[in-house]
Each structure stands twice: as structure tokens, then as C-alpha cells.
A and B are shown apart, each in its own frame.
Chain A
Amino acid sequence: MTPFEGLLFFYIMGLMLLPGVILGLLGRPLKIYGLIFTAVMLTIVFYENGQLLLLCGFYVWQIVLCLGFSRVKNKTKTIFRAAVVLSLLPLLAVKLSAVFPELRLLQLLGISYMTFRAVQVLIDIYDGRTEKPRLLELSYFLLFFPSAAAGPIDRYRRFLGDINRTPGKEEYCELLRRGFWRLMTGAFSGIAVSGIIWAYWLEPLPGGGFMAGLSYMYGYTLYLYFNFAGYSSMAIGTAYILGVRLPENFNKPFLSADMKDFWARWHISLSTWLRDYVYTRFVMGSLKAKRFKNKRTASYIGYIITFAAMGAWHGLSPNYLIYGAYHALLMCVNEALDLHYKSMRKFKQGAVSRVLMAVVTFHFVSFGLLIFSGRLV
């Protein structure tokens, strides 16, 4: 059973949400039931796809790592780095299955997302933002069902804030209404619309040829948007019903005037994660250590590392890696243009020129997604 797919899934999830809805409407706390809901739904889904044992193993690995690290008295940089590497290890193993077919057995739904949540907790602990995470709260954060399989990627302390609050009856009604609305619109977008695009636009296209490729490029971009944005909506809607306001993942991405704008509007939870924990840390470290003669170099290299990581996070196959490199290049170009052509900035703000820039950006984005789709590589 794939989450948010198929009538049977929604039927079961609906049944499971009912007690939560009743608790919320009565103004009771949702933390405990939310945990039960997550545990039951994960068990059903992962038992179904035969990955329950792997999930348990992965969970134990990350929990031991996080709790263990939090109890280390002297958290040196080396120990911190070791912890992060260990946390990334399962993800690496799974991604390497693209290169080594023997590792095919190690597939775990949502591992990319759950790993990033775990690493984020480690960083929080190292920075001193979190002292000693509690087992249940940490488990709930790592495995939170609505976002387990495909995000959005949340932040630990923001999540804790939500689950340790009890929304009153009024506030919960609002959450319930909005959550249900997001579920419905997400289902429409992610299942109906994307399904239609797939069946009537993408599937009938021939596998090769320039015109077909062009059509596929536009179609796939729209398909991916409706599919992923719809899915994120459903996850967010379900989370709202459990009293958790997951962060948004999409914000009218096709209105982006340039690539930096795009990454603030597309897969937002991933791009902000990478920005905060890869780009910013690298740049800050470089500036403090005066690593580069020209300070700006830190920014360019920062983008390259960040977007290479983004590509690899999706997978280690050529289409994903090239996708990452492609965006790294575009971000550097964006940065350079902003820097050396100050008139660019003014240009992007005009009404007509903004539309022009949006169209241009859309084409760069679509081409990137064409690479991502694997059709070219």
C-alpha cells in the first residue's frame, strides 16, 4: 500500500483519523493518539510492502545515534561529524543500489526524508539548540506518518512546539476544516490531475524524437508539479488533522522570476533544509576561516556543494546527479548575474519583464526536470 494512493488506503486512514478528530473536537491533547496513529499506519504500510523489519532497524539506528550523541559529554567537531556520517550511512547504502544491483534488497520508503530529519536533530544537539531529546518525542518526529514517505521535511523544535500544545476546540475546528480541504484538493491535484496528464499526455508520447521530447518536457514538468504538490497537500492536510502544522512545500513555483526565486517556491522544505544546513554552514565556516581570497567564492562553491547534494539525495543515477549539477550551474549564473549586472535586478521587478523572466525561468526549470525524468540519460 503506497501512502495517499488507492481507495483502501484512504478508507483505513479515515477510520484511524476518526478518534483523533473526536479528541481534537473535545479539546483534548493529540500527542499520544498521534503517536498511536503513526505506529499503526506505519505498521500497515510497511508490513504490506515487506519493509517493516528494515524500518525498525533504521529507526533503532537513528534513535541510538541521536540519543547517544546527546549524552556525550564533550561533543567535539570530530564526534559530531562521525555521528552525521553514521546517520547518513543507511541512506548512502540505499542510494548505492542504483550502482550496485546487489543492494536492491535495501529499499526503504521515505528513507531520504527520515534521514534528513535525523541529521537535523543531530545538528540541533551539536549547536546546543536541543539538550536531551526524549525518546517518544524524537520517535514521533522521525516517523511522523503523514510526512514519513515523501515529506515535507519538518524541523525538530517547530514540531515539538506543535505536539506539546493542545489546540482548543475552536482552533482545532479550523485545523480540521483546513486539513480536510487540503486533503481533498491534494487528492484532486495529486491523483486526478496528475493521473490525467500521465495517461493522456505523457503515456501516448513516443519514446524518441525532438517534438516528442519537447512535449514530454512540458508535460512532465506539469505532471511532477501536480503530483508532488498534491501529495504534499495531502500530507499537510493529514498533519493538520493531527494538530501539526507541517511547513509548505510549494508556492506557485511557475511564477519564479529567477532560479533563486524558484528554489524558494519548489520543494521548499528540502531547499530550506539544504540552505540552512549545507550552504549556510559551509559559507559561514569559509568566511570565518578565511578559506578563500575572494569571499564570494565561498558562495559559489557553497551553491555547487548544496545542489550536488540535492542531486545525490534524489539518487546516485546519472539523471539525478546531472540534475544537481545543472542547478548548481544555474544558481552560480544567477548569483553572478545579480552581482555584475545590477540592472538585472531592476529588470526583474518590472511587470512585463517579470513575466518574461518567469517564462525564461520556466524553460530552464522544465529542461532540468526533463533531465530529472531520466528521458535524456
Chain B
Amino acid sequence: MNLKPFILVILPIFLLNCIDQNNHLYKIEGHQISITDSLDSQNEIDAFVKPYRNHITKDLDSVLAYAMNNYSKSNGELNTAIGNFMADALYEQVNPIFKLRTGNDIDMVLLNHGGIRSIISKGNITTRTAFELMPFENSVVVVALKGSQIEKLTSYLCENKTAHPISKLKLIVDKNFKAISSTIKGVKIESNKIYYVATNDYLYNGGNKMTFFKPNEGIYDLDYKIRNVLVDYFKKVDTIDPVIDDRFIQIKQ
């Protein structure tokens, strides 16, 4: 009865035999499955999400103001009602804060057309509207720029031929998109004067290829999210009724 050595010998053979056999990939099948309402919802997940959803819905659907019309960023050539609204609202909300902190007034506002993330629909404006317009977490910065840098800013706008939202800056271009006139608060831009330009941190850091914010004469981070600017503005006013105006236009003859 001496089984023990036999087992010890035979065991490694079994193991080796198995390890030697490689896994060979012989077939691949690929599918895409649509997630539709024909699938059941898992109760556990629904129950988990519900309290969060209720809180957000209640908060988002509280009515803040009223929109007189539908406003879309595709409506308008070099300036749009919705863009004008955003740039003007930003000026109105942020200038008092900036003035309190620095003693200076904001001279102009520049945002980007691509940053208008949705339309404003006619009717009630809610916190949800502000989230749809501005889902990102970007915040307001004020950049001190010399007039010579402002000229780069206006050249950018002329070359870009896009209705980037502006406030307090007025720009007229000819049929070749060459600047005929550019003014800030109605006054011609002076190359040695310092201008305070309110924008968002994304653009300040070169987003949308806006490279003219550097070099600058100073930067003020106001720690105020663009979305909160909009929410606070909506809370302040009863209705909004922005229009396309003459702040950035082309004279075609």
C-alpha cells in the first residue's frame, strides 16, 4: 500500500497537461444593443436615483422670469439677440462687483458663440434654462488689456465673422470684413489705454483660439460662474426681450 508517491508523480502530469493547452481565439461576434423603452427598468436603480431626481427637478423647474420670444444663436449674422442678452446680462451683473473690488468699471464683455449651448424658448424661464444655456462650470474673469491688444481682439472678430456675444464694444466692418469703426462705450479705442474686458476662464486660457488675452496688464478672477450670473439675472428681472442690434454689423456697399 504505497499510494502516496504515485499520487505525487501523477499530479504534476495532470497539471502540466492542462497548463500546456493554450486558449485559442477562434471566433469573435460583435453586436450593438439599443437601450429603448422595450427594456425593463431595474427597480433598485430607479429607487436609488429618485430622491436625487426629485430634488433637482424641484430646484430646476422653479420659474425665475419670462421670455417674450424664442431666441436662438443661429438667428442673426454678426450679432444675435440671445448673444446680446448674455453679454449684456453679464455686464449688468458683474460690473457692480468688479467696481466694488477694484474701483474700476468693466469696459466691455466678450463671450464665444459656441458657448451658447441651447435656445431660450418663449415662455417661462427656469433654473433649467440657465443650465441648458450654460452646462459648463466656467466662471467670469476680468482681464486688463492694453488698447493694442484690444485691436487684436477686434481683428479676431473681423476675421472670425462669427456672432460672438459682445457688450459695450461696437464694431462696423466693410464688405471685405475690414474694420471701418471700432468703439468701446462710444469712444474710439486708444492703443495705450487699459481696458477691462470681462470674459470667461475658458476663453482667457486660449479657448476658441482667442490668444489676445495674453500678454495682459492683470487678471481678476471673480469666482462667479457664468451659469450663476444668468440665474441671478433671471431672478432680478421679470421678462427678457433682447433684440438683434447694431453692435457688430457689416456695411455691404
> Are A and B genuine complex partners?
no
Interface residues of B (CB under 8 A from A): none
Interface residues of A (CB under 8 A from B): none
